[in-house]
Chains A and B, each alone.
Chain A
Amino acid sequence: MATAFAAAWETHKRANEKIAAMRDQLIAGLETIPHSRLNGDREKRLPGIVNFCFEGIEGESLLLHLDARGIAASSGSACTSGSLDPSHVLLALGLPHEVAHGSLRLSIGEENTPEEMDYIIRSVTEVVSYLRDMSPVWEGLERGEKPHLL
């Protein structure tokens, strides 16, 4: 009995370690995207959840493009924090500032692989860059008309 429990516990622990390693891989990859931000507390977070904000793009179009690449993501927590300056162009239009940033929530399970994490990192990087290229909000940020907030 005690042995069976120990074996199950060991399996559970190994699964969690595997998920945590993939999560760290995903975070490290997504953090290389300029003007992005990891949401939430890095240490206390749930092992299989990664939550990011990307400045200058909209959330739904990010999710739709990822879906087309076979990546099921959901929108993450609103991209607001004390660090966000309220002087953004969207505020001038009467909008709350979280809509100025695409937020992304990815869940990792035991069945996922490190190769899949690489695929997700590559895809998110490409989609964010594509959407920024066609975003008038991003254009304003790059021209220095408004300060980058992330």
Chain B
Amino acid sequence: MLYSEKVMDHFQNPRNVGKMEDADGVGEVGNAKCGDIMKMYIKVKDDIITDVKFNTFGCGSAIATSSMATEMIKGKSIDEALELSNKAVVEALDGLPANKIHCSVLAEEAVKAAIEDYRSRQQ
């Protein structure tokens, strides 16, 4: 497996890993190709994502992309976070092997699912 140094760093020392008891939004998504499952928790105040946590069952790319995605949306507004693309996450990680790109799609979907859950709770 050829992972970049950055991927290995986020895999070995994932940022924002954990659960959140008082989350304002929780999203859980899975992909059938690798079998990865990602669960993302967000804390929101005044439309800003003040805290993020994730739990992931999955391959090295799944864990690294979850970690990177949480870093990229922390402190951002809901609208900015919704714009996060898997491509941006992959670029921030200095790339992923071609057969692992689908794992990064999951990170984008997990962010969107958590925000969707947050919004549904606001209504």
Task: Say if the beta carbon of B38 comes within 8 Å of chain A.
Answer: yes
Task: Say if the beta carbon of B23 comes within 8 Å of chain A.
Answer: no
CB–CB A60/B55 < 8 A: no
CB distance from A42 to the nearest CB of B (A): 28
CB–CB B35/A139 < 8 A: no
Given contacts A60-B60, A95-B32, contact A136 B37 (CB under 8 A): yes
A-B contact count (CB 8 A): 61
Q: Please, which residues of chain B bring their CB within 8 A of the CB of A93?
A: 30, 32, 37
Given contacts A58-B35, A58-B36, contact A134 B56 (CB under 8 A): yes
CB–CB B59/A134 < 8 A: no
Q: Please, which residues of chain B bring their CB within 8 A of the CB of A135?
A: 37, 55-57
B contacts with A: majority SS: mixed
Complex CA distance for A64 and B11, rounded to whole angstroms: 9
Write out, one digit per residue, whether chain B residues 29-73 have a CB within 8 A of any chain A CB (1) or not (0). 010101111110000000000000001111110110000000000
CB–CB B12/A68 < 8 A: yes
9 contacts between A and B (CB under 8 A): A58-B34, A58-B35, A58-B59, A61-B58, A61-B62, A95-B32, A134-B56, A134-B63, A136-B57
